[in-house]
Amino acid sequence: MRKTFQYRIYPTRKQNIILLHVLSMCRKLYNDSLHDRKVAYQDCHCGLSYYDQAAWMKYIDYQGVYAHILQNVLRRVDTSFQNFFRRVKNGETSGYPRFQGRNRYDSFTYPDPYGTGYKIEDGKLHLSKIGAIRIFQHREIGGEVKTCTIKRDGDQWYASFSVELPDVEKKEIETSVGVDVGITTLATLSDGTEIENPKTLDKYDSKVKKAHRDLSRKKKGSSNRNKQKIVLAGIYRKVRNARKDYLHKTSRILADAYDQIVFEDLQIKNMVKNHHLARSIHDASWSMLINFTTYKAEYAGGIVELVNPRNTSKQCSVCDSIQSMPLSLRTYRCPDCGAVMGRDHNAAINIKNRYVPADCGELTPVEMVV
Ligand SMILES: [Zn+2]
């Protein structure tokens, strides 16, 4: 099982320049190799492999960039082509691998196990051919480190370590919960618990608006406008981090408390819903919540299941009868059996009950108790 540990690093001004230089050389190599593959194909219909391209690399001067970082760039090119060919083969409309602009290409990787090209010592991350950069490790890395990736996020830098952990044995499922994700309430559980959307995010709302207003007042192309852009990016990063932090806490609670956690399959759900900007932000949060919960559950030997979202709000969780439920109705009142409960609570119970393991026919492995 793979797990990623990410930490902020604090390069000095000089190190910052070196990091940007490495990034820029990597991007150049990426775009050059993409170009070579294109030309080779157009001119003689031959494909270039990773090994073809790696063999040529020694003839080009990459200005002191660590060789294995460069090899990893070629691997990335290779992977993007393999993904492209796979999509073509599957008949999907597929984008040809793209040239990477300055703002898109934002990371490079030491592709070898810990100790080869990088190591942490005395609060510093030692990077071969770059230097020792101060690192803030808020928690220890567990497991065997396989690679180290250096990422840029605006004017900040991060190091993420990909770690191999032994597979965890699956727990027997004793506790199960259904989770309905929503806009007014982030998540409602089938036991009736409600997890609010984080209030901390509201306070950023006015800050974002103000920063946008300030930006629109600055002259295009002026240095003040560029400064304001950095301010705005910083606020967005804070919002993103605050949201992520909250989702980490929420997913931790779910993964610790339940062996099996059932969500709606958002991919199916989103096909039938139209998209607004506000919704897409929620979508991102929901996907992240499911994603975080999935790996935390796996890590603890539990499991996340996804079910078809059809009619989860309209169906009565007691007698299965279906009635129309406009969004404005916050309470479910069943005309057939008289059940009354919160709209999202009802949906969460349906979600929980909907999960049927493949080999169990109509039976659910857990009691249908709420
Ligand atoms: Zn009913």
336 CA distance to ligand 1 middle (Å): 5
353 CA distance to ligand 1 middle (Å): 15
Query: What pLDDT, on a 0 to 100 scale, did the predictor assign at position 7?
Result: 95
183 CA distance to ligand 1 middle (Å): 25
330 CA distance to ligand 1 middle (Å): 16
Query: What pLDDT, on a 0 to 100 scale, did the predictor assign at position 280?
Result: 61
329 CA distance to ligand 1 middle (Å): 16
8 CA distance to ligand 1 middle (Å): 52
Please count the helices (runs of H) and the strands (runs of E) in the chain: 8, 14
Alpha-helix residue ranges (DSSP H) falling in the chain: 13-44, 50-56, 67-89, 202-217, 223-257, 266-272, 277-299, 343-354
363 CA distance to ligand 1 middle (Å): 20
153 CA distance to ligand 1 middle (Å): 51
**C-beta separation of 198 from 205 below 8 A:** no
Compute CA 366 distance to the chain's CA centroid, rounded to the nearest angstrom. Answer: 31
342 CA distance to ligand 1 middle (Å): 13
362 CA distance to ligand 1 middle (Å): 20
177 CA distance to ligand 1 middle (Å): 20
Quick one: which of 317, 323, 366 has its CA closest to 345?
A: 317
332 CA distance to ligand 1 middle (Å): 9
> Is pTM, for the whole model, over 0.95?
no
Domains, the chain, in order of start with CATH, read 2-164 (no CATH), 176-354 (3.30.420)
Residues 6+ apart with CB under 8 A from 45: none
Q: What is the mean pLDDT of each run of 10 residues along the chain (370 residues)?
A: 91 96 95 92 86 84 89 95 86 83 91 95 94 91 92 93 88 94 90 86 80 88 87 86 90 95 81 55 82 91 93 95 90 95 96 81 42
326 CA distance to ligand 1 middle (Å): 17
Q: What is the torsional sign of CA 303, 83, 269, 363?
A: negative
348 — phi, psi (to 5°)? -65, -40
186 CA distance to ligand 1 middle (Å): 25
User: Two tokens at 342?
Assistant: 């919160």
Chain position carrying tokens 């969004």: 327
Query: What pLDDT, on a 0 to 100 scale, did the predictor assign at position 26?
Result: 95
Query: What pLDDT, on a 0 to 100 scale, did the predictor assign at position 363?
Result: 45
46 — phi, psi (to 5°)? -110, 150
Q: Give SS3 for 351.
A: helix
Report the largest interatomic distance among the alpha carbons of the chain, rounded to a whole angstrom.
79
Query: What pLDDT, on a 0 to 100 scale, did the predictor assign at position 365?
Result: 42
